[in-house]
Amino acid sequence: MKKSLFKSAFLACCLIVLAGCSSIVNQFAFYPDTQNIIPAEKLPLEVEEIFITTSDNVRLQSYYVKNPASDRILIFFHGNAGNICHRLSDILNLKNCGINVLAISYRGYGKSSGKPSEKGIYIDGASAIDYATQKLGYSLKNIIIFGRSIGTTVAVHTSQQKDIAGLILITPLTSAKAHARAQGLGFLSLLAGNAFDNLSKISNIKCPVLVVHGTDDEILPFSMGREIFDHADVEKRLVIIDGAGHNNLSQVDPEKYWGAIAEFIVKVDRLKVEGY
């Protein structure tokens, strides 16, 4: 009886610790801005603000930008700070690469309801794909998914085993644990558990992949982008921006950065033929 009680108490303590670790990881992973928001009436005319209701009833502020010349759509998942309003320039540049764009502000960011968590932003990602296919009428084969930084975890997670057109990963991480180690947290990195584990999921990707990373990334080292690229077992391309850090790839070499993305968008259907 005493052994049974001890075992139950031990398991309960383990669950409490694991729950606490998850809470800690989420606390350090997300830095949402709900104050600096562009009013809908002040958005560029080509940007339509819409709201997507997720499967767990969270409303996501989103931007839809049409490019009449394209029958494909790029779903954009941003990094861990700010909100979708801060990405307007990138969204418009992506549209000018020759594609429609649907950009999501995660739960708890901008005008979106809810509170961010790893599990929650994965639901956000799935809901964005559902909206693109069921409401906007795009087929999976005409969807390109784009993720930057922590957005790559949403992009990879939601792209698994899907016959989409392509996957673009900008400064991807391998896992939260590896990121913690890279930031010098040592044994404390173990608290991250299996959070944000891109590396174990990238082998489940079936579509062509583009990885872009800077050699001087101080947040997510270039070695992470290289490792993600090496583990992807599909047609793929790695674009290296020499001297670029985590947040300035498009400033250090805009021609190489935007050129690689535009080329991937245009040629994604012919990657196998061209040996990309």
User: Which residue out of 124, 197, 217, 253 is catalytically annotated?
Assistant: 217
Angle between helices 118-130 and 2-29 (to 10 degrees): 60
User: Which residue out of 62, 127, 149, 250 is catalytically annotated?
Assistant: 149
Q: Pick left, alpha or beta for residue 212 (phi over 0 → left; psi -120 to 50 → alpha; otherwise beta).
A: beta
CB 214, CB 243: distance < 8 Å: yes
User: Which residue out of 86, 189, 246, 250 is catalytically annotated?
Assistant: 246
Q: Tokens for 26?
A: 């989420």
> Helix H segments across the chain?
2-29, 88-95, 118-130, 151-159, 176-182, 198-201, 222-231, 249-252, 254-267, 271-274
Rounded Cα gap, residues 1 and 271, in angstroms: 64
CB 16, CB 92: distance < 8 Å: no
Q: Count of CB atoms within 10 A of residue 39's CB?
A: 8
217 tagged catalytic: yes
CB 260, CB 208: distance < 8 Å: no
- Catalytic residues, which ones? 149, 217, 246
